[in-house]
Amino acid sequence: MPSRRRTLLKVIILGDSGVGKTSLMNQYVNRKFSNQYKATIGADFLTKEVQFEDRLFTLQIWDTAGQERFQSLGVAFYRGADCCVLVYDVNSMKSFDNLNNWREEFLIQASPSDPENFPFVVLGNKVDVDGGNSRVVSEKKARAWCASKGNIPYFETSAKEGINVEEAFQCIAKNALKSGEEEEIYLPDTIDVGTSSQPRSTGCEC
């Protein structure tokens, strides 16, 4: 497939307030963790160069405010996203239950060209807390939800300890890149009545 040279991959991190969106982003980009991050107001992003098959890409990672009241800003921020990362806190059922809202809201506001196949990645963060004893969302439950939404790749992470963060973002970048390439071969006169919306390849083989 002749692919246009893409240099920028835009990734949006969504999830409830305090699940660790800013921390994940900073752990991945700066390999740093701090207890001092302030609540994100509005939105911000960091960039990181990533390499795939001898090509360099700039991963632009958007960190957004987690309070529902600010969701409407998404229209401006989600535009042109290549991948959406949904984050919840494995120690908070509410943050897990809200994943569906975040996903729906993203699809509405970003209105990607092919919502059925838009790549999401789910991260269950804070697995380090209390040695896992305060965990309330099981991995099984999370994976079941991901499977029901078209096999969304799933990772359990700790931004604090740096667990699985690199792996997760590798997958995120890969999916973002794939999303862009699919878009390129998508012809405007193709008529797709929805039956061909096969679930995406099962997870990320990384």
How many C-beta neighbours within 10 Å does residue 189 have? 4
> Least Å distance between CB 140 and other proteins?
25
> Least Å distance between CB 167 and other proteins?
27
Residue 113 interacting with other proteins (CB under 8 A): yes
Site for other proteins in 117-146 (CB under 8 A): none
Find how far residue 121's CA is from the centre of its chain.
4
Residue 116 interacting with other proteins (CB under 8 A): yes
Give the whole-angstrom CA distance, residue 91 versus residue 140: 14
Give the whole-angstrom CA distance, residue 206 versus residue 201: 12
Residue 10 or 174: which CB sits closer to other proteins?
10
- The answer to whether 171 and 164 are in contact (CB under 8 A) is no
Residue 150 interacting with other proteins (CB under 8 A): no
Give the number of residues written for the chain.
Answer: 206
Site for other proteins in 5-44 (CB under 8 A): 17-18, 35-39, 41-44
* Of the candidates 59, 60, 65, the residue with the CA atom closest to the CA atom of residue 15: 65
Return residues touching other proteins (CB under 8 A).
17-18, 35-39, 41-45, 60, 65-73, 75-77, 79, 94, 107-111, 113-116, 183, 186-194
